[in-house]
Amino acid sequence: GDSVTQMEGPVTLSEEAFLTINCTYTATGYPSLFWYVQYPGEGLQLLLKATKADDKGSNKGFEATYRKETTSFHLEKGSVQVSDSAVYFCALSTLGNTPLVFGKGTRLSVIA
């Protein structure tokens, strides 16, 4: 079945450091790919998405590019802030009316 694998956390970075959170997927068909962010005590928020190969999703300084050849959707940000501390989930969607498949989440802590 479909699956998402993302790097294990926690990830601890200093403010202004470069961030990469790896995400790879296995899917039948042609999935859409997502990154969600969960701040402490809150629900998940859609951060960015991409629906076809080579699409780049971007939001709030975060970027991820849909790489079909490597089945990857790595999340990057050039300069993290303390306010980026959260749990990040990678997810995919294939057919309509079927649930998203989520990775296990990666906790990011940014220290000043």
List residues binding another protein (CB under 8 A).
Answer: 32, 34, 36, 41-46, 49, 51, 89, 93, 96-97, 99-100, 102-105
Between residues 73 and 105, which has the closer beta carbon with respect to another protein?
105
CB of 97 to another protein, least distance (A): 5
To the nearest whole angstrom, how small is the minimum distance from the Cβ of residue 43 to another protein?
4
Q: Which of 32/73 has CB closer to another protein?
A: 32
How deeply is 56 buried, as exposed, middle or buried, from its count of CB atoms within 10 A (0-12, 13-18, 19+)?
A: exposed
b/e per residue 22-51 (b: at least 16 CB within 10 A): bbbbebeeebbbbbbbbeeeeebeebbbbe
Name the residue nearer to another protein (CB basis): 32 or 108. 32
Q: Could you give the CA distance from residue 45 to residue 48 in angstroms, rounded to a whole number?
A: 9
Q: How far is the CB of 84 from another protein (least distance, A)?
A: 19
